[in-house]
Amino acid sequence: MVKEKLIILKEAEITNNCPECFNQDMKLTFYQKHLFGRLYHRTTATVTHQIKCNKCQSIIYPVKWTEDIERIFEYYQKMVSPEKASIKFTALFYILILSPFIIAGILYYLFQSGIISI
């Protein structure tokens, strides 16, 4: 089963007014999606974001953004540099791929040397 994990790329404290409680203490966070399986570790190109108020703990969705929040978001979005989308295979993958070839090689050697016969 593949596990999905969001890795933090950048966090920024912003001082815009919260649309819920009008406090000036919010956090903007950018995440990149990573998939972890038994055979591979995949980094996707998907980058998500979240703005959260530190006082009322509410998540500020884009519908409630003011023009100031949009400007700050666009500024920080340009600064985010996500990892390149890639796939890395685990040791288990290589063991499963190479083991049939190794077994076939050993059996071929044993047949040629006369230790095993059909």
114 part of a folded domain: no
110 part of a folded domain: no
Measured in degrees and rounded to the nearest 5, phi and psi for residue 101 equal: -70, -40
Note the pLDDT of residue 78: 92
Based on the structure, what is the number of domains in the chain? 1
Cβ contacts of residue 116 below 8 Å, gap of 6+?
107, 110
112 part of a folded domain: no
Which residue in the block uniquely carries the two structure tokens 């006082």?
55
108 part of a folded domain: no
116 part of a folded domain: no
Which domain range does residue 47 map to?
3-90
Distance between CA 42 and CA 85 in Å, rounded? Answer: 8
Q: For residue 117, is pLDDT > 90?
A: no
105 part of a folded domain: no
37 part of a folded domain: yes
Per-residue confidence at 20, pLDDT binned at 50, 70, 90? confident
Arithmetic mean of pLDDT over the chain: 91
Cβ contacts of residue 26 below 8 Å, gap of 6+?
13, 14, 15, 16, 18, 51, 52, 53, 54, 60
What is the number of residues in the chain? 118
Q: In a 3-state reduction of DSSP, which class is residue 89?
A: strand
What's the pTM value of the predicted model, to 2 decimals?
0.77
Per-residue confidence at 85, pLDDT binned at 50, 70, 90? very high
106 part of a folded domain: no
Note the pLDDT of residue 23: 85
The first and second tokens of residue 25, run together, are 């203490």
